[in-house]
Amino acid sequence: MKLRRLAYPYLLWMVLFTILPLLLIAYYAFTTYDADGNLVFTFVGFSNIVTGDRVEMGAFGLRSLFGLHLSVPIYVNTFLLSLEMALVCTLICLAAGYPVSYMLANRARRLRGRSDLLLFLFVMPMWMNALLRTYAWLALLEPKGIVNSLLGMIGIAEQQFLYNRFAIGLGMVYNYLPYMVLPIYSVLVKIDPNVVEAAEDLGANRAETFTRVIFPLSTPGILSGINMVFMPAMTTFLIPNLLGGGRYLLIGNVIERQYMVARDWTTASALSIVLLVLVLLGMRVLTRNEAASGEGGSILL
C-alpha cells in the first residue's frame, strides 16, 4: 500500500500535463463558434484536412521519378512530406547508428565496466539545448559560414546548404542520432559473450555470427531506436523553421501556424488528433513486434 502511494505524484503529473491537455485538444477539435457566437459541436476541423486547397503532391519523389501529377489536399501533402522526411531520417540514423553502437559495445566489453570516453563524447551534445544545437548548424552552413570557408580554401565554389531539404534532414539526423545509438548499444552490450563464442565454436565465421546471432539478438534495441527517432522526426517543427527557413512546412509547422498565426484552433486541434493517432498506431506496431521478438531477440539457426 505504501508503494502504491508513492505513485500518486506521478499519477497527478500525468493527469495535469498529459491527460488534461489531450482532453483540451479534443475539446477544441470538435467545437467551434457559429455565426451567432454560439459554441457548437462540429467535424469541420477534420473535414478541412481532406477538403482544403489542393496542391501537386511532392512527397516520395513521385512527381520527379515517375512523371506523375497527383493533386492532393494541402494538409495531406504535408502529412506525406513529414512521413517521407521522418522515414529517411530514421533509415539514415539506423544505417549510421548501428555500426557506432556495435563499436561502442565492443569497446565496453574490452574495458570491462570502465567508463568509455567515446560514449561520453557521443552523449555529451544531448546535454545541450536542442535549439542551441540547431542554431550551431546555421553558423556552420550559412553562405559565409565555416563549411563554405573551408570549401573555398580548396577551390570549391560556395554552396547553398541552408533552407532546403538537405539542411532539414541533416538537422534531424544530427539531433536524433543519439536516440538510435543508445537503445541499440544498451542491447548489444548485454549480449552474453558465451553465445558468440558458442557460434564460433560451431564453425560460424564473423559474418555468420553477426547476421545469425548478434543482429537478431539486437532487434529489440533496433525497434526501440526506430520508435525514438521516427516519432519526434515526424512531429518536429523547430528544425524546419530554422534550417529550412520556413520554405518547407512539415506537419508540426502547420499545426504551430494554425495555432499561433491563423488562430484556427479547431483545424489545428484536428490535425493534432490525427497526428496523435498515427503516432500511436506506429508505436503500437513497433512495440508489438518488440514484444514478439522477446527480450533479446531470436537467434537464426
Residue 300: per-residue pLDDT: 52
Residue 110: per-residue pLDDT: 77
Closest CA to 108 of 209, 184, 4: 184
Closest CA to 258 of 249, 250, 267: 267
229 contacts 89 by C-beta, under 8 angstroms:
yes
Q: Which three cell numbers, joined as nine digits, stand for 85?
A: 522526411
Residue 121: per-residue pLDDT: 80
Question: In the chain, which stretches have pLDDT less than 70?
Answer: 1-3, 58-69, 112-115, 289-301
Residue 94 — left, alpha, or beta (φ > 0 → left; ψ -120 to 50 → alpha)? alpha
Q: Where are the domains of the chain?
A: 74-293
Residue 65: per-residue pLDDT: 54
Is 33 strand, coil or helix? strand
**pLDDT tens-digit map of 196-212:** 888 888 888 888 999 99
Fold of the domain spanning 74-293: MetI-like fold (1.10.3720)
Residue 158: per-residue pLDDT: 85
76-96 exposure pattern, b = at least 16 Cβ within 10 A, e = fewer: bbbbbbbbbbbebbbebbbee
Residue 199: per-residue pLDDT: 87
Residue 221: per-residue pLDDT: 93
235 contacts 251 by C-beta, under 8 angstroms:
yes
CA distance 115 to 35: 65
**Relative orientation angle of helices 130-141 and 146-153, to the nearest 10 degrees:** 30
Residue 52: per-residue pLDDT: 78
Q: The cell 499519477 sits on which residue?
A: 11
Residue 298: per-residue pLDDT: 52
